[in-house]
Chain A
């Protein structure tokens, strides 16, 4: 093993029926290093992590760790824990029915009889040292997602691990929490812990990481130090092609001027739902792309959910084309030509076991009604149309959607809503957790649809993405709209200022 390396993987291979997920992948992690593991969806990042933590058995290859003279045979997450490899997963893997303290200690308590008092005290210490404001005795299910994530990290930190794997931990944290996490990561780094950091946020990689290992299609592309790999090159290495699309798209969103004589496509006054948002006023015109900006928990998703009646609407007036309409459940919104691509793809989007075809026609079929079934031939035709249009990579229309990669699943869902031929399309974080190439595709598509006359509301946690696509932004804070930006005002700084409560906020 290399000197000061804490973990060394050599020639790791893993295949699933029909797919070679990893082929001869090498990976080295040094002590006190934050090492980014990058790659598009399907590059093999998750598989590598799962092999390392014993979730999947590896087909071949060796795993060496400092302090062990023989290659490790990690058969379960428990084995991994025992040798000092801790993981914080993208999807929170804690038990919601247990208390915070128990979640920190379960599976690794010493002795067989527990002392609740001691456990709670120790948990309090750990939480305090990380600045997490939560009582150890609180039931996990009653904590917010961000806090749950922090508890997962607290657990890993408390395990005195030598290798800490963070698998997209930042996707459900807001900026403040991300900043806290980074402080923590640097802290651990100083203590000599090796950290593997998997993320889709390029900024974050360049902010905290020392090295980058890039995977593509299950093979190793290379290992680089941060200083020697500019962003553009990283992206091109991940995609496997030279790409300037990112800069291409900038400035595409022209200033949008609505025709005052035509009533807006959609107009809401004082709309609010049971998801605890303050009444909002909102309009969108034909061919306009606008967005809701704000931090996680600011209420931006809740706003669009209220528009689509995905949450229970409690009050407010809604007009379409100047005429009042009643939208109390999603089907009403759909019948009025609204489509909503939800934030949580897995929970609220895909119907996992159903085929790509059935997933594409689902919304259309529901809109058509129970007594007008779409024939199989017609459905296949529709599906093929969108598979081609959106360049969806799937073996066939019969493939269950759950076996597609995240980006392709997202495209299927997009196809589902486009098929309903909406006038007004709401996209809530359509680019979350998907690869760079698909992100750009989706941004381009949004602009294209708008140019064809569709109204689009676009929400993303990456503000530069919104700047590229939207001509107007509603800024949210604390579950209410605090400002509206358009034209010249559309810049990173201005958005930040408005979110933070600077001079640009009108209603506060």
Chain B
């Protein structure tokens, strides 16, 4: 009782109440909850072991490394998804299909006409750049529909969502090329001598690039402005259509990066399965990061954190030996709990309840 009473004027409680209202609160709370759950259920979850790969490279393994590895792909997508969400007030549901396309392009360029080449038919960098161009072109397609034809984003991207995997299959004539090149496998695996998954470094690089872009341009202000009030933005000299369009192209770039990591990890591609449902995870990451899915203000850091939390959840469920098909049921429950907890109405009611408890506690202690 006494603690509660003193907490009223305590800077610590003020800090917490500020934190509670902060956007980043939700992903942090979710992360802590998951961590505590795992700590109680089985502390070995956090065990990281150093082993050696077949090439003799040091490799760290463990659940945390898995989260770092797969979460990074998601984080990369979440950056782009956040921008698209902020500017256009909608989400791109075609990212999974677009990953299939860009992955397919990478393999096509690397393999040329032979689906099992002895040596690479083109430098890796060329393959990556070509896939970037293709993914950004598809991003531009989505962006055109959204920005210039004014079609709701989810619907516009539904087109590519429906066609993407078919296009991916068509690019490689429905063959499944396999690239067995050591250097190529570094990007989705480990660099020689470095025991941390490469994808993590790629994600960090993406974040740094993004941070630099926002630091040295006013794109952030423009995107938020367009997302909040398109009319005003136009009358302030902005070109809202172009800004929306460009966010889809940027997302295209991140899609290409994620796709590149995916095919590098697998050395091949399965058109109907690769990056399946990843659009859902990416959107969840944005939402979990506390960004309004209806656009406007955004916080990329929170989205990135959200992405890792989503992956944390997935890995936790795998660890509990939930079959990969049933996984989604559990994930759904967790997601619902999270969004219900973060719903403004529920938060208001909780705050009111908390206030009541505090008041009655204060009354009691006064007696």
Contact = CB atoms under 8 A, between A and B. Distances in A.
Contacts of B222: 366, 370
B297 A363 contact: no
B236 A370 contact: no
A54 B219 CA distance: 42
A299 interface: no
A373 B236 contact: no
A342 interface: yes
Interface string A333-377: 010000010100001111111100010011101111111111000
Contact of A334 (B221, B228, B237, B296): B237
Contacts of B238: 331, 366
B235 A351 contact: no
Contacts of B237: 329-331, 334, 363, 366-367
B228 A370 contact: no
A334 B233 CA distance: 13
Most buried by A among B234, B236, B237: B236
B225 interface: yes
Given A351-B228, A352-B229, A358 B235 contact: no
A383 interface: no
Nearest to A417: B236
Contacts of A367: 237
Contacts of A265: none
B217 interface: yes
Given A370-B219, A373-B216, A363 B231 contact: no
Contacts of B218: 365-366, 368-370, 372-374
A485 interface: no
B157 interface: no
B212 to A, nearest CB: 12
A483 to B, nearest CB: 29
A350 B234 contact: no
Contacts of A340: 235
A16 to B, nearest CB: 12
Interface residues of A, number: 31
A150 interface: no
Contacts of A74: none
Nearest to A368: B218
Contacts of A353: 224, 228, 296-297
A6 interface: no
A127 interface: no
Contacts of B229: 347, 350-352
B57 interface: no
A452 B9 CA distance: 51
Given A331-B237, A366-B238, A373-B216, A348 B232 contact: yes
B235 A365 contact: no
Nearest to A341: B235
A378 to B, nearest CB: 12
A318 interface: no
Interface string A219-241: 00000000000000000000000
A310 interface: yes
A457 to B, nearest CB: 15
B217 A348 contact: no
Nearest to B229: A351
Most buried by B among A334, A351, A358, A365: A351
Nearest to A310: B235
A155 to B, nearest CB: 28
Given A371-B216, A373-B218, A374-B218, A354 B225 contact: yes
Interface in B220-261: 221-222, 224-225, 228-229, 231-239
Contacts of B219: 370
Given A362-B221, A373-B216, A373-B218, A348 B228 contact: no
Given A354-B228, A371-B216, A373-B216, A348 B221 contact: no
A361 B225 CA distance: 12
Most buried by A among B216, B217, B235, B296: B235
Interface string A368-406: 111111100000000000000000000000000000000
Interface residues of B, number: 22
Contacts of B224: 351, 353-354, 358
Contact of A330 (B215, B217, B221, B236): B236
Nearest to A308: B235
Contacts of B228: 351-354
A348 B237 CA distance: 12
A349 B235 CA distance: 8
B236 A358 contact: no
B293 to A, nearest CB: 14
A416 B232 CA distance: 12
Contacts of A352: 228-229
Contact of B225 (A334, A347, A348, A362): A362
A349 B232 contact: yes
Given A371-B217, A373-B218, A351 B233 contact: yes
A56 to B, nearest CB: 14
Nearest to A305: B235
Given A348-B235, A352-B228, A365 B221 contact: yes
Contacts of A358: 221, 224-225
Contacts of A361: 221
B232 to A, nearest CB: 5
A363 B225 CA distance: 11
Contact of A370 (B215, B217, B225): B217
A155 B69 CA distance: 61
Contacts of A334: 236-237
B217 A351 contact: no
Nearest to B231: A348
Contacts of A368: 218
A87 B216 CA distance: 50
Interface in B314-329: none
A385 B291 CA distance: 31
Given A367-B237, A370-B217, A371-B217, A350 B296 contact: no
Nearest to B214: A373
Contact of A347 (B215, B216, B231, B239): B231
A330 B239 CA distance: 9
A493 B225 CA distance: 44
Interface in A411-425: 416
A366 B216 contact: no
B236 A362 contact: yes
Contacts of B225: 351, 354, 358, 362
Contacts of B231: 347-348
A353 B218 CA distance: 17
Nearest to B233: A351
Interface string B194-221: 0000000000000000000001111101
A289 B143 CA distance: 44
Contacts of B239: 329, 331
A249 to B, nearest CB: 29
A457 B360 CA distance: 60
A329 B219 CA distance: 20
Interface string B278-322: 000000000000000000110000000000000000000000000
A212 B231 CA distance: 38
Interface of B: 215-219, 221-222, 224-225, 228-229, 231-239, 296-297
Q: Nearest 5 CB-CB pairs, A to B?
A: A331-B237, A366-B237, A373-B218, A348-B231, A363-B236
Interface of A: 308, 310, 329-331, 334, 340, 342, 347-354, 358, 361-363, 365-374, 416
15 contacts: A310-B234, A331-B238, A331-B239, A342-B235, A349-B232, A351-B225, A353-B228, A354-B297, A358-B225, A362-B221, A365-B218, A366-B222, A370-B217, A370-B218, A373-B216
Given A371-B216, A374-B218, 9 more contacts: A330-B234, A340-B235, A348-B235, A349-B235, A351-B232, A358-B221, A362-B221, A371-B217, A373-B218
